[in-house]
Structure 1
Amino acid sequence: WPLNRRILYNRASADPQGRPWSERKKYVWWDEEQRKWTGYDVPDFPVTRPPDYTPSPGATGMDAHSGSDPFIMKPDGKGWLFVPKGLKDGPLPAHYEPAESPVHNALYQQQSNPAAKYFQGKPYNRLAAVGDENYPIVITTYRLTEHHVSGAMTRWLPWLNALQPELFAEISPELAAEKNIKHGDWMIISTPRGEIDARAMVTKRMRPLLIKGRAVHQIGVPFHWGYQGKATGSITNDLAHMVLEPNVSIEEAKAFLCNIRPGRLP
């Protein structure tokens, strides 16, 4: 978007001379006869800029990028291993476990991002300890195509509600058997912050993870429902903690810990 490109920076699929790196990886390349970039995608690059183009002194914007600089959204057109300024963490990528995790960081001693905003000590933001036996299951949240925004708008549309009428949780057959939950049953999901109920969707898409010899289960829960609209349901974000990424304060609600049991809330 807006040019319907499939792969950003696809100029990088060709070498500095504009030739495909290999026939197998051939994707976008410079056509010398037509004097333009062509291929299997819309070129993410000035289409008539030849590979040997050299910017003039004092050139600005896209004119400052040479014909072999594919990363057009970077000021210098180059690929970066790290951001040279502005980040509150980094500069190189590092693996941290989420604020709530069933396992210790296997790479080094720092468990989670020390620069994140944790709001510690708040009664509404209690965190489960690493490997907490009361909350052994990993939960991830996500969107659905039918409720493509938050749900606040789409829950008022009957035809979308007919496609996705109520909150559900995807769980593996192994976890369902362990918890005595059948497909379509109601189940309660709990975290240190609260509880919600949802329908169980038993599916092989959710697979247990084998970590250091033990099974770690995971469930998936969309977050589109609430107390208003033509289709209502529990609020998934009632389960999530308030832990914010240090640079732009994105909430870390894609992975935290929970437990489940059959039944409904009163």
Structure 2
Amino acid sequence: IYTGVYADGVNQANRRKSRHEQSFVAPEWGWAWPMNRRILYNRASADPEGRPWSERKAYVWWDADAQQWTGEDVPDFEKTKPPSYRAPAGADGVEAIEGIDPFIMQGDGKGALYAPQGLVDGPMPTHYEPVESPFRNQLYGQQANPTRVEYRRDDNPMNPAPPEEHVDVFPFVFTTSRLTEHHTAGGMSRYLEHLAELQPEMFVEVSPALAAERGLEHMGWCHVVTARSVVEGRVLVTERLRPLKVEGRTVHQVWMPYHWGSGGLVKGDSANDLFGITLDPNVLIQESKVGTCDVQPGRRPTGAAMRQYVEEYTSRAGVTDAEYPPIVTVSDDIVTASEDTGTQEEEDDE
């Protein structure tokens, strides 16, 4: 992924030209892989004839005199393919992308809200709640993606979510992301002295309101529990994680970095142990980067006591090895109405 970073013998990523000395795109501030292009599909900033939709916001355009695409950014389009190009019959690949089609990574070069093929959960976009959510889907009756990929194993239970009962056992929403000082799961950066010193411990970031509700002390210890595991970390109380008001009630957010593990100069619990595994149905990316949890003060149990502690939670939540959240969660009335409509349509066809 570093191809091009030393183009022309210059460390492109180390460039720091002032914004006063270049265009608003700032192409000479740092570098973007692989061609220093700053906006993908930027052909869409010009109309079908290749003219900027807005002269004030002109970004890339077709230069009829030079017979090529040009502009403030590196054009994300075949440089010499004119707007007038039309694909010949039977064309495929790049030749099938016409001069008016900006979305070159799509087979037909077009963006679409209606996708009749290629998406398991298409053809129209919609909103689904995460598999673990404290709230009912407000858009319509189906709670989570019914085409998600699940791994129904004893070591991959899911916290209950509406319309199931016992959602209050795991009342908070948690997510994870990364820190500047560490790389991915930390397997490389935790062994580097300078980086380990800058971020030495696993921590759990919470709001002052959640800290007060659960008796958490800033820089003290706390632990986070799900149906899979429990991890511990230092408490970081900040104003950044504001409680959310949804459906007339307050829900707290919890955030953790995912860079710690059992090896390195600095060690700590892995936040990834908290997640179950469910996958997006199209490209099989882990959908469960958000989940529900409980947070309690103090350090977690260890050994057999830790497993027993988690099992106490799953017992209260009604989570068993043999039960999983339902795939289809619309009401029976809606399902029945849909079936009746389908039967009537079949009769009409006959």
Displacement of 1:60: 4.2
- Which residue of the partner structure matches residue 240 of structure 1? 275
Indicate yes or no: 2:191 matched with 1:159.
no
* 2:284 aligned with 1:252: no
- Measure the CA separation in 1 of the matches of 2:43 and 2:60: 6
Q: What is the identity percentage for the equivalent residue pairs of Structure 1 and Structure 2?
A: 53
Could you say what secondary structure the match of 1:159 adopts? helix
Aligned twin of 1:172? 207
Name which of 98, 106, 113 aligns with 1:81.
Answer: 113
Q: Corresponding residue for 2:147?
A: 115
Give secondary structure in 2 for the equivalent of 1:155. Answer: helix
Superposition deviation, residue 61 in structure 1: 2.9
Bigger relative contact order, structure 1 or 2, given CA contacts below 8 A and separation 6+? 1
* Cα drift, residue 107 of structure 1: 1.0
Structure 2: how far apart are the matches of 1:88 and 1:67?
Answer: 29
Contact 1:11 1:44 in 2 (8 A): yes
Provide, for residues 130-159 of structure 1, a one-character-per-residue CA deviation record: whole Å limited to 9, x for no partner. 371121100011122322222222222222
Q: How many Å apart are 1:179 and its aligned residue?
A: 2.0
Give the length in aligned residue pairs.
Answer: 266
Conserved 8 A contact 2:159-2:170:
no
Q: Please say if residues 241 and 253 of structure 2, whose CA atoms lie closer than 8 Å, have aligned partners that are also in contact.
A: yes
The structure with the largest helix share of the pair is 2
TM-score, normalised via structure 2 length:
0.70
- Whether the aligned pair in 1 keeps the contact of 2:174 and 2:293 (CA below 8 Å) is yes
| Residue 76 of structure 2 is aligned to residue 44 of structure 1 | yes
Larger radius of gyration: 2
In the alignment, what sits opposite 2:45?
13
Question: Retained in 1: the 8 A contact 2:130–2:288?
Answer: no
Work out whether residues 141 and 253 of structure 1, in 8 Å CA contact, stay in contact via their aligned partners in 2: no
Alignment of structure 1 residues 151-230 onto 2, 5 Å:
151-230=186-265
How far 1:112 sits from its partner (Å)?
1.0
CA drift at 1:248: 3.4
Alpha-carbon offset, residue 82 of structure 1: 4.1
Stretch of structure 1 that moved more, 26-35 or 37-46: 26-35
**Secondary structure of 1:125's match?**
coil
Give the letter aligned to residue 62 of structure 1.
V
Are the equivalent residues in 2 in contact too, given 1:117–1:243 (CA < 8 A)? yes
Distance 2:87 2:276 in 1: 50
Q: Using the TM superposition, give the Cα deviation of residue 71 of structure 1 relative to its aligned residue in structure 2, in angstroms.
A: 1.2
- Residue number in structure 1 paired with 2:306: none
Compare 55-64 and 76-85 and name the one that shifted more.
55-64
Aligned partners of 2:229 and 2:167: how far apart in 1?
A: 16
Match of 2:190, as an amino acid? R
Quick one: structure 1 residues 204 and 8, their matched pair in 2 at CA, closer, same or farther if it must change by over 3 Å?
same
Deviation of 1:121 (Å): 6.5
* Greater displacement, 26-35 / 91-100: 26-35
- Partner of residue 70, structure 1: 102
Contact in 2 for aligned 1:157/1:230 (Cα 8 Å): yes
Q: Secondary structure at the match of 2:272?
A: helix
Are residues 1:101 and 2:136 paired?
A: no
1:86 offset after TM fit, Å?
4.1
What's the secondary structure of 2:213's corresponding residue?
helix
Q: Deviations over 1:172-227 (max 9, x none)?
A: 22212222223322111111222111112222221111101111111111111111
